[in-house]
């Protein structure tokens, strides 16, 4: 989210530009309904030097917030299309988004080559 949906506790220099208030208008109408817009600060982005166990716990907590968010699908697709390099968006971590994008690229390449694909079509 344009974190603004969720506000990061990271230092300003490390906050992804896509999540700054100036970019809110580019996020689309879904942004106003983001559950994380006002709450959950600090859940969605890793502080520097976060231990692995703490990161996994924080990410699971963020995903629980996303699970009750009415704009999860829109948020996730936004993060994939941008692509957003950091944080939890639409219930996916950055690593999970990289996997989705990799699968989409392979599916697109297979389709271009006329090969069958099992990839789920892009949303929106």
* Interface residue list for ligand SF4 (CB under 6 A): 1, 5-6, 34-36, 44, 65-66, 69, 71-72, 75, 88-91
The interaxial angle of helices 94-112 and 72-81, nearest 10 deg, is: 70
Q: Which of 23, 110 has the CB closer to ligand SF4? A: 23
Residue indicated by tokens 């006002």: 38
Is 36 labelled a binding residue?
yes
Q: Residue 89: beta bridge partners?
A: 92
Tell the smallest beta-carbon distance from residue 88 to ligand SF4 (Å). Answer: 6
Q: Which of 66, 100 has the CB closer to ligand SF4? A: 66
The total number of residues shown for the chain amounts to 124
Q: Which of 5, 16 has the CB closer to ligand SF4? A: 5
Tell the smallest beta-carbon distance from residue 53 to ligand SF4 (Å). Answer: 22
SS3 (DSSP) at 92: strand
Q: Which of 69, 100 has the CB closer to ligand SF4? A: 69
SS3 (DSSP) at 84: coil
Query: Taking the mean position of all CA atoms in its chain, how far away is CA 86?
Result: 7
- Whether the Cβ atoms of residue 5 and residue 18 lie closer than 8 Å to each other: no
Tell the smallest beta-carbon distance from residue 116 to ligand SF4 (Å). Answer: 32
Token representation of residue 41: 């600060």
Q: Which residues make up each annotated binding site for [4Fe-4S] cluster?
A: 36, 66, 69, 75
């Amino acid at each position: 989210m344009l974190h603004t949906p969720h506000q990061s506790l990271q230092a300003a220099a490390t906050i992804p530009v896509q999540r700054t208030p100036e970019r809110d208008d580019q996020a689309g109408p879904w942004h106003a309904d983001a559950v994380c817009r006002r709450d959950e600060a600090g859940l969605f982005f890793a502080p520097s030097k976060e231990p692995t166990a703490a990161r996994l716990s924080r990410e699971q907590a963020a995903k629980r917030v996303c699970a009750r968010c009415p704009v999860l699908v829109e948020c996730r697709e936004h993060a994939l299309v941008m692509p957003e390099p950091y944080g939890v968006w639409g219930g996916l971590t950055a690593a999970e988004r990289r996997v989705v994008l990799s699968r989409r690229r392979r599916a697109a390449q297979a389709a271009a080559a006329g090969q069958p694909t099992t990839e789920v079509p892009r949303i929106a």
